[in-house]
Amino acid sequence: MRKRFQWSTLVLVALSCLLVLAGCGGKQEATTSGNEAAASNGLEAIKQRGKLVIGVKYDTKLFGLKDPASGKVEGFDIDIAKAVAKHIFGDETKLELKEVTSKTRITLLQNGDIDAIIATMTISDERKKQVDFSDVYFNAGQSLLVKKGSPITGLESLTPDTKVLAVKGSTSAKNIREKAPKATILEFENYQDAFNALKAGKGQALTTDNSILLGMQQQDPNYTLVGGNFTEEPYGIAVKKGQTELLQAINDTIKELKSNGEYDKLHEQWLGVKPE
């Protein structure tokens, strides 16, 4: 009797220990997988939050431009952002747009202020060290914008006397230093500031993607593109490194838009021509 009692106590103690251990183990497991989820699956967090937060340009006609009167932001990148929201939530209005510039966009993404960047952003090896990119969703190329009648006709006209205007944090600012090493490069915070500087005569040419310059030309037809494209600027949507499910949702959206004809429509609507 006494012996049996001891045995059952031992079994009970052993069982309790096991339960406690299992409990601890279980808890640990839950925490670990929770952290992993946060790191690798931002999509779940976005779904729980109920909206997608996208960093877009507010200064770039045709891609992302804010109308100060209505407060509306419009452009090709905005429509792509809406399509991603629609893909994830079945509702394109479950979207919050936040302003980024070429200089601020990667920091805002790293800080978690935005889920993704859809902002005329070229996929480059240097940037790939910091962010992950979607498939290419637009093909641009760097060019020059000058006042109509300007003696500048292309890269070869950029002499030590030429001031070329560019935007901080853009590939354009970096490329132009390599392509026109003799010219003086002035860098601005955003594209409207750079364009205003060109109009104020602070430089003789403005350089960035042809797609952005096209929007400026529409804003003021006294300005024109010259010299053709001298780089390739494939645009990608950037997400934080390791956000594989969000990236998959974005790539699926791009594929969908291309296969259902919506991509061509958007391209024609904003750029005036069908994609090549």
Residues binding ligand GLU (CB under 6 A): 102, 119-122, 167, 170-172, 208-209, 212, 233
The whole-angstrom separation of Cα 263 and Cα 276 is 12
Percent helix, strand and coil across the chain, each rounded to 5? 45, 20, 35
Q: Are 253 and 84 in contact (CB under 8 A)?
A: yes
Residue closer to ligand GLU, measured from CB, 43 or 77: 77
Amino acid of residue 166? A
Q: Which residue is nearest to ligand GLU (CB)?
A: 170
Residue closer to ligand GLU, measured from CB, 46 or 208: 208
Q: Cβ of residue 201: shortest distance to ligand GLU, in angstroms?
A: 23
Residue closer to ligand GLU, measured from CB, 108 or 119: 119
The DSSP symbol for 273 reads S
Q: Cβ of residue 83: shortest distance to ligand GLU, in angstroms?
A: 20
Q: Cβ of residue 118: shortest distance to ligand GLU, in angstroms?
A: 11
DSSP 152-196: --SGGG--TT-EEEEETT-HHHHHHHHH-TTSEEEEESSHHHHHH
Q: Are 266 and 76 in contact (CB under 8 A)?
A: yes
Token pair recorded at residue 196: 């205003």
Residue closer to ligand GLU, measured from CB, 79 or 209: 209
Q: How many CA atoms lie within 13 A of 23 on its CB side?
A: 6
A 10 A CB-CB count for 70 gives 8
Q: Cβ of residue 101: shortest distance to ligand GLU, in angstroms?
A: 8
Q: Cβ of residue 66: shortest distance to ligand GLU, in angstroms?
A: 15
Residue closer to ligand GLU, measured from CB, 46 or 146: 146
In sequence order, which residues have a C-beta less than 8 Å from that of residue 190 and are 6 or more positions away?
Answer: 59, 101, 102, 167
Q: Cβ of residue 166: shortest distance to ligand GLU, in angstroms?
A: 9
Residue closer to ligand GLU, measured from CB, 46 or 192: 192
Residue closer to ligand GLU, measured from CB, 154 or 234: 234
Q: Cβ of residue 212: shortest distance to ligand GLU, in angstroms?
A: 6
